[in-house]
């Protein structure tokens, strides 16, 4: 009896945990996509003879744009120090001068980031007399724009398929558990117990098992969510508790609902069988 119940709880926990992971991925897919979009920088390289007033005016106009999230001015010296750090040696020692240009890195709000928008800005700023060149990672931007929507659809499709698989697996597990008690069901029926009286304890038992499996799945999901938030704090996964709460609520409803329906259908099947068919 205990081993039968334990297998049901384990099945429910594992399946609901995997469904919950997919749900968390789906509900946070836009936030992850927005995070990557906001890391794409439009870099405006400035000529050496640029006037300070022109640079400050450009910075000011960039900061006033609704699409702008952050503006970062990098001097020639800072660019050289950063480059030396990246390559592991001071290249100016053998060059004798600093060939790098001062630049302005512009980061945009995710809702504005698109290939057409960034390309238009790039062409506009390239026309300035004191601008040497404008650069952005065009292949990465195009890749993000093309695949973000596809990934969302794939996650949604995978979630729906997995929910269907979860229904089948949990239903099969509960049906096998009740199958082992088919003689008890038929014996109670033969001594005059009504179908409702026989069905009631089975429904109560398996709903409790479904709730227990759901709660265990939630504990594992909370652990996964906490670990992801520790590793990727910039995603701010815990700053919007409503979103994971919706997934957690859906997991509990799914676990209890499937357990109720599966136990009801399984007991009903054996209640409707002839005595000979039970054997």
Edge to edge, the sheet with strand 68-74 lists 68-74, 103-108, 41-46, 131-135
User: CA nearest 24: which of 204, 184, 235?
Assistant: 235
The H-or-E segment that residue 69 falls in is strand 68-74
DSSP letter assigned to residue 97: S
Banded model confidence at residue 1, pLDDT cuts 50, 70, 90 = low
* Predicted confidence (pLDDT) at residue 3 exceeds the cutoff of 70: no
Whole-number pLDDT of residue 279: 52
Q: Report the first-to-last Cα separation within the chain, whole angstroms.
A: 20
* Predicted confidence (pLDDT) at residue 93 exceeds the cutoff of 70: no
Look-up of token digits 């050289």: 80
Q: Range with the lowest mean pLDDT among 96-100, 153-157, 170-174, 219-223?
A: 96-100
User: What CATH number has the domain spanning 41-136?
Assistant: 3.30.70.3040
Whole-number pLDDT of residue 194: 76
Q: Range with the lowest mean pLDDT among 84-88, 115-119, 224-228?
A: 84-88
User: CA nearest 206: which of 240, 137, 255?
Assistant: 255
Cα(273)–Cα(185) distance, integer angstroms:
10
The answer to whether the beta carbons of residues 225 and 238 sit under 8 Å apart is yes
Q: What is the mean predicted confidence (pLDDT) over 25-43?
A: 81
Q: What is the mean predicted confidence (pLDDT) over 249-254?
A: 89
Whole-number pLDDT of residue 115: 85
Percentage of residues of the chain with pLDDT beyond 90: 10
> 42 φ, ψ to 5°?
-95, 115
* Predicted confidence (pLDDT) at residue 248 exceeds the cutoff of 60: yes
Looking at every residue in the chain, the average pLDDT score rounds to 81
Q: What is the mean predicted confidence (pLDDT) over 216-225?
A: 90
Banded model confidence at residue 90, pLDDT cuts 50, 70, 90 = low
The residues spanned by each domain of the chain are 2-35+147-278, 41-136
User: CA nearest 181: which of 205, 209, 213, 210?
Assistant: 205
């Amino acid at each position: 009896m205990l081993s039968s119940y334990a297998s049901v709880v384990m099945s429910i926990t594992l399946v609901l945990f995997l469904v919950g992971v997919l749900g968390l991925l789906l509900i946070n897919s836009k936030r992850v996509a927005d995070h990557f979009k906001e890391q794409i920088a439009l870099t405006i390289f400035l000529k050496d003879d640029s006037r300070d007033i022109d640079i400050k005016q450009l910075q000011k106009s960039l900061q006033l744009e609704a699409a702008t999230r952050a503006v970062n001015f990098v001097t020639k010296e800072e660019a050289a120090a950063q480059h030396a750090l990246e390559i592991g040696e001071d290249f100016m020692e053998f060059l004798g001068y600093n060939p790098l240009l001062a630049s302005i890195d512009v980061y945009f709000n995710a809702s504005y980031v698109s290939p057409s928008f960034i390309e238009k800005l790039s062409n506009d700023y390239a026309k300035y007399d004191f601008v040497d060149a404008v650069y952005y990672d065009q292949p990465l931007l195009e890749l993000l724009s093309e695949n973000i929507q596809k990934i969302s659809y794939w996650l949604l499709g995978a979630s729906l398929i997995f929910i269907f698989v979860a229904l089948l697996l949990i239903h099969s597990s509960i049906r096998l558990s009740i199958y082992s008690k088919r003689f008890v069901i038929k014996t109670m029926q033969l001594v005059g117990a009504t179908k409702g009286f026989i069905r009631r304890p089975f429904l109560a038992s398996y709903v409790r098992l479904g709730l227990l499996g759901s709660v265990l799945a939630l504990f594992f999901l909370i652990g996964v969510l906490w670990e992801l938030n520790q590793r990727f704090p910039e995603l701010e996964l815990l700053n919007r508790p409503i979103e994971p709460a919706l997934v957690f609520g859906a997991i509990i409803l799914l676990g209890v609902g499937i357990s109720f329906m599966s136990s009801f259908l399984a007991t009903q099947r054996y209640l409707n069988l002839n005595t000979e068919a039970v054997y």
